[in-house]
């Protein structure tokens, strides 16, 4: 049958952002049976033995303990599993000199659900019919932001300024504070730090400036810290966590080796927490308690923070070093290619300036040589400007083996050479 959908139903029924690309990638892999592809599209973290062992040990401890039945056989609080909330409060107060309590923490089914709740609690039309905008101050950013709002016109992103090092073939996005508008019409501000897809890390000064501007209008700032300290600690440059009365610190345990359990953690002002908790209660009563129970053990013991520093971060930092070295060696110097400064996360972000075709067409050419990347145009949700740059970028996952990364970057360099030779860049 073909059910009649509402406006909201129609919006949620569409494949958005990178999910549409992933559907094409899955079909490519299915159709190419017998052919080997180096798939650098994955957002799944690598299963690292030490991290997997931690989760095994925490699971065994839960199974053998007296609280197992209470965890899996009973409903719980909408706010989250008490021992996990207590572990988070103690850990963040100790690490960052905070004075938060259990009323400042909410556990959600992964950070994606957290942004969906926030987008429809603080963004969209208010009771007076006024549109409250969701501001992304630095585009590109996480593609998932594009599908989170039931009022799509509420999402508004701003073009960045580009800091380019031509000789080194590197660049960095920075927020354009001259163009950025955060005002009483803003519902909330949202950005990832470190950033998926680019690996960008907004500086402490930039974050505090955003927070201060928003605070002057009583606007919440949600900082997507899925790759930030203290877990998984996937920052490759120094950064401090910024807290404040209008800041909601949003972290996740997915990149700490627990994506299947969907554990998101929001830390912020009690009033913000209460609003999102109410939405969560209406949606699903509460998040799964099994993942929360083993996470409580990993955080309370200090092992998760330690493994983040000693295992998870060095693993991906080494992958980035291999990718950078290979591109520097293999890419043609006379082509305007630029790699975003690798400051964190599990991806690299490549910009092919003056690319003589769309990112989708280049993606198809790479598939012909057995390499799969993610075209970048999906990572500009909410951007109103017609900007050619959005068709020139690619996200590269750092989850492949060392050999696969080297081989894929060498093949990419060969395709780049062929494409630009066929359509030389104008001098």
Angle at which helix 402-422 crosses helix 359-368, to 10 degrees, equals: 120
How much is the pLDDT for 18?
Answer: 62
Q: Are 50 and 307 in contact (CB under 8 A)?
A: yes
Domain residue spans of the chain: 7-47+313-422, 50-306
How much is the pLDDT for 16?
Answer: 64
The contacts found for 247-250 with CB under 8 angstroms, 24 or more apart, are: 247/211, 247/220, 247/221, 247/223, 248/118, 248/220, 248/221, 248/222, 248/223, 248/272, 249/223, 249/225, 250/111, 250/114, 250/115, 250/222, 250/223, 250/224, 250/225, 250/226
The Cα 168–Cα 338 span in angstroms is 8
CATH of domain 50-306: 3.40.640.10
**DSSP code for 254:** G
The verdict on domain 7-47+313-422 having CATH code 3.90.1150.10 is yes
pLDDT tens, residue order, the chain (427 aa): 778 877 777 777 776 666 667 777 777 777 766 678 999 998 889 999 999 999 999 999 999 999 998 888 888 888 999 999 999 999 999 999 999 999 999 999 888 888 989 998 999 999 899 999 999 999 999 998 988 888 989 999 999 999 999 999 999 999 999 999 999 999 999 999 999 999 999 999 999 999 999 999 999 999 999 999 999 999 999 999 999 999 999 999 999 999 989 999 999 999 999 999 998 887 777 788 999 999 999 999 999 999 999 999 999 999 999 999 999 999 999 999 999 999 999 999 999 999 999 999 999 999 999 999 999 999 999 999 899 999 999 999 999 999 999 999 999 999 999 999 987 655 4
The Cα 113–Cα 252 span in angstroms is 11
Beta strands 186-192; 221-224: pairing state? parallel
The Cα 71–Cα 61 span in angstroms is 13
Helices and strands (DSSP H and E) totals, the chain = 13, 16
How much is the pLDDT for 33?
Answer: 67
């Amino acid at each position: 049958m073909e059910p009649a959908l509402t406006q909201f139903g129609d919006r949620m029924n569409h494949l958005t952002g990178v999910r549409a690309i992933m559907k094409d990638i899955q079909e490519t892999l299915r159709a190419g049976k017998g052919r080997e592809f180096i798939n650098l599209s994955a957002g799944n973290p690598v299963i690292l033995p030490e991290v997997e062992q931690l989760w095994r040990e925490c699971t065994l401890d839960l199974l053998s303990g007296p609280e197992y039945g209470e965890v899996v056989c009973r409903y719980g609080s909408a706010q989250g599993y008490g021992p996990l909330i207590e572990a988070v409060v103690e850990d963040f107060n100790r690490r960052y000199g905070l004075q938060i309590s259990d009323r400042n923490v909410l556990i959600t089914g992964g950070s994606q659900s957290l942004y969906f709740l926030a987008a429809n609690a603080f963004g969209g039309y208010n009771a007076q019919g006024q549109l409250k905008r969701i501001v992304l101050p630095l585009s590109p950013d996480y593609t998932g932001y594009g599908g989170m709002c039931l009022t799509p016109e509420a999402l508004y992103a701003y073009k960045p300024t580009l800091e380019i090092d031509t000789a080194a073939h590197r660049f960095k996005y920075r927020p354009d504070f001259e163009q950025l508008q955060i005002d009483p019409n803003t519902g909330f501000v949202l950005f990832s730090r470190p950033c998926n897809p680019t690996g960008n890390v907004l500086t402490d000064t930039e974050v505090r400036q955003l927070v201060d501007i928003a605070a002057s209008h009583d606007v919440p700032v949600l900082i997507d810290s899925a790759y930030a300290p203290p877990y998984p600690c996937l920052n490759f440059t120094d950064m401090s966590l910024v807290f404040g009365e209008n800041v909601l610190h949003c972290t996740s345990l997915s990149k700490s080796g627990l994506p299947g359990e969907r554990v998101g953690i929001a830390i912020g002002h009690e009033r913000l927490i209460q609003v999102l908790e109410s939405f969560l209660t209406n949606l699903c009563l509460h998040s799964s308690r099994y993942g929360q129970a083993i996470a409580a053990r990993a955080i309370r013991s200090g092992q998760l923070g330690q493994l983040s520093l000693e295992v998870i971060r060095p693993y991906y930092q080494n992958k980035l070093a291999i990718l950078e070295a290979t591109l520097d060696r293999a890419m043609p110097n006379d082509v305007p290619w630029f790699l975003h400064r690798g400051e964190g996360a599990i991806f690299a972000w490549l910009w092919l300036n003056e690319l003589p075709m769309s990112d989708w067409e280049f993606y198809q050419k790479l598939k012909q040589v057995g390499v799969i990347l993610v075209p970048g145009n999906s990572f500009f949700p909410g951007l109103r400007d017609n900007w050619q740059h959005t068709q020139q970028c690619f996200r590269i996952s750092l989850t492949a083996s060392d050999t696969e990364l080297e081989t894929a970057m060498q093949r990419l360099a060969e395709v780049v050479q062929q494409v630009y030779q066929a359509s030389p860049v104008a001098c």
